[in-house]
Structure 1
Amino acid sequence: MDVKSAFLNRFIEEEVYVRQPPGFESARFPDRVCKLRKALYGLKQAPRARRQDLVLLSRDGDTLIVQIYVDDIIFGGSSHALVSNVAEQMSREFEMSLMGELQFFLGLQIKQGPERTFVHQAKYTRDILKKFGKGDSKPMTTPMSTNTALDADEDGEAVDEKEFRGMIGSLLYLTATRPDIQFAVEGVDNALIKGEIESQWTGLIALLV
């Protein structure tokens, strides 16, 4: 479910002032500014004004789980009637579009079946491989070689710190569905404090492919 004009529905706590919109200036007070009551697109407060919650609702023995992230809402429950009822109520309260069965959310791909739900990040993995120029790399059997050295290499070649940190961040998010790479990612991440050198870079490349 996607809430339309989500940023415009929430009140903000901070005091924010804006110039009077052109064509709507006050004839009595042309030099005054307007105090915002709700968020506007472009404000740094707008995303934070949206709720980011996990809500659990129980009713007559049935359970409904609602996840709210900025303007995206996903929900499901043990009762189709309860889910439909909540969807109808929210649609009456806000202008929103129902997206159907959940298949993709925040980089996670969801495949639902009658007996289980499979969550993976295949597309996200391909995207970060392309982002860091490793789209044509051959896969490896393990996340890290047993002889990979992650100690500071004083003679190692310095690498791009921004790209290095970006790659680590991407891999940390990938561990949401890939716990098998957690140890290797943390090992390379910890080595970051010792300096971005060639041995850590090699370890990151191995993790990506």
Structure 2
Amino acid sequence: MRKYKFFVDLAKEEQWLNEMASQGYVLAGKSGASYRFESGEPGSFVLRIDYRSFKHAADFEDYRLLFEDSGWRHIAGTKSSGAQYFLKKTADQSEDIFSDADSKAGKFKRLSEMWFSLAVCFLPILTALVMAGNIDLTAFLQPAKLYYTPGLWDKTGADFWGAFLFETPFALLRGFIWLILPVSIVLYAVFAAKARKQYNKTLNKI
């Protein structure tokens, strides 16, 4: 069985995957937003998610073996993917892959740093576009100037609507595609703040 979901909160993702396992659907693989499940005995599996990336394949293999020696099977994740998924067959639903609070909270700290670094990476690009004059803020007030079809505004009836509807997607791209940058920066900053909040919450809870 496959399901498609997108998460930015590892805690919510882990909770959902364990709820699926409690119903007899055990995670068997993951690619992007696609989750592949296999049938398993309800309540007999626990899944945990860590967040860690590696520069070297050997370090990644050592990391996987460390958990597998403790009975945790690596289900999904690559050396550079960040999110790592581990599964263990156990009736103890409280069992964790982490031995202390700092280790458990550390995944949220690393996730927060990742989101923050993405936000910072987009800032120079946005600044360069502004400095080069490639962003025209007057387009919000005068969107008509984004249309290049000669004589468009003198056309009437079907001629006008045909030309207008044809060019509108291109006009929107010309005038507003740059909005992807500030929106992405804000979203990444929000995700970083949420991960940092989860980091502090995890430390205080344990």
TM-score range, shorter chain: under 0.3
Structure with more contact order per residue of length (Cα contacts < 8 Å, sep ≥ 6): 2
TM-score with structure 1 length normalisation? 0.25
